[in-house]
Amino acid sequence: MTQSSLPIVRLRPKANARAIRHGFPWVYANELVTDRRTKALPPGSLAVLEDDTRQAMGVVAVNNGSKLICRMLDPDPGARIDQAWFAARLSRAQQMRERLFDAPYYRLIHAEADGLPGVVIDRFGDVAVIQPNAAWAEVLIGPLAAALAEVTGVSAIVKNATGRARGLEGLGEETVVLRGAVAEPVPVAMNGATYMADLLGGQKTGLFFDQRPNHAFAARLARGARVLDVFSHVGGFSLAALAAGADQALAVDGSAPALDLARQGAAQMGMEARFDTRKGDAFDVMAGLAEEGAQFDLVVCDPPAFAPSRQALDAGLRAYERVARLAAPLVAPGGYLGLCSCSHAADLTAFRTASARGIGRGGRRAQLIHTGFAGPDHPLLPQLAESGYLKALFFRLAP
């Protein structure tokens, strides 16, 4: 599309046009003039955004059904959003990942930070998984997938259209193979461990690449240790610990399929004899382990996002505090406790405060020895604090 063929949408006078010009990627619904023509645009439509003085600011994607009514795609108002445009952004993203990683297992596109707002793409060797979490990406999934195949050379592409973000955009859920065929599950080597990723039925895209550096740090604490991995998914921390020389590891999760994949990963590593799983509610399991008098040299808790929005922040912080309170007594004297949050609404200070309070309420005293974040394949857009969602705190607990 050319600029002349796109409709025009306009900011209200009080909208923060300067922030958008400086890289902020969103326009909120109360910042846009929503006349009849704008309201008539189908979700995912492209338009040229103008400020209140009618100066063009770039090409945006419009969704009247979302609080994020516009997402900035390109500051050039004449940009053509086609396969070549997607290929340019994908190539730029891939160049950095190829410099960082020896094998093509990583997050290739991290939404706004990689110039594709609302889009996540994870690469699993010869397979790529797209999460089109914004309406515009759903509309343009064809040229996006074509560009992805062109740039990466993958033979299979999965569209994983599930999750809370799609509901906020008014989109339905489905998982479908767009190109090629996918043999399940897919083995992924990270930090010396082997993880089995379910690309068609697992959580998110099948594996959490964002925790890679935090798995590596925890593994340094795990040599010769007894390890408890709570909210383990497919064995993220526990399998990395075993690969680093842990004596034994117990993975706890509420999903039987996830624990089955964790066991498969341990078997692939030849470490099934040192690995065990326990299915159940994590809070109940931790309470039960305390009643049993069980203790571990390293305990790591990586729960789901308890505070996915500001409205859920207070309840989410209480949940993180409860995790810390239940986990702390399970740490052997002088042992280590890792606590993680993937809630963008809970900033680092709030999460650290809740964690420290929970450790204290669990009857323990601690020193904070390391703060971790997502890996570099999950870049942060400086103008968008929400893109830096992952926090990992590692404590040493006093005897």
DSSP E strands in the chain: the ranges are 8-10, 26-28, 45-50, 56-62, 68-74, 105-110, 119-124, 127-132, 156-161, 174-179, 186-190, 193-197, 226-230, 248-253, 275-279, 296-301, 331-341, 366-372, 391-397
Residue 70 catalytic?
A: no
**CA 346 from chain center: how many Å?**
15
- Report how far residue 346's alpha carbon sits from residue 392's, in angstroms, rounded to the nearest whole number: 12
Instruction: Report d(CA 337, CA 296) in Å as an integer.
Output: 9
Rounded distance between C-alpha atoms, residue 120 and residue 162, angstroms: 12
44: CB partners within 8 A, 6+ apart:
61, 62, 63, 134, 135, 136, 137, 138, 139, 140
Q: Is 398 helix (H, G, I), strand (E, B) or coil?
A: coil
Angle at 163 between CA 42 and CA 25, to 5 degrees: 55
How many CA atoms lie within 13 Å of 32's alpha carbon, on the beta-carbon side?
29
The H or E element that residue 359 is part of is: helix 348-361
Q: Looking at the chain, how many residues does it have?
A: 399
Residue 187's Cβ-count burial label (10 Å; 0-12, 13-18, 19+) is middle
- Rounded CA-CA distance 323/303 in Å is 9
Residue among 70, 301, 340, 342 flagged as catalytic: 342
Question: Of the candidates 238, 330, 240, which has an alpha carbon nearest to the alpha carbon of residue 293?
Answer: 330
Measured from the Cβ of residue 75, the count of other Cβ atoms closer than 10 Å reads: 14
Phi, psi (deg, nearest 5) at residue 395: -115, 150
Output DSSP code: residue 254.
S
* Contact in structure between 80 and 57 (CB atoms under 8 Å): no
Active-site annotation, residues: 342
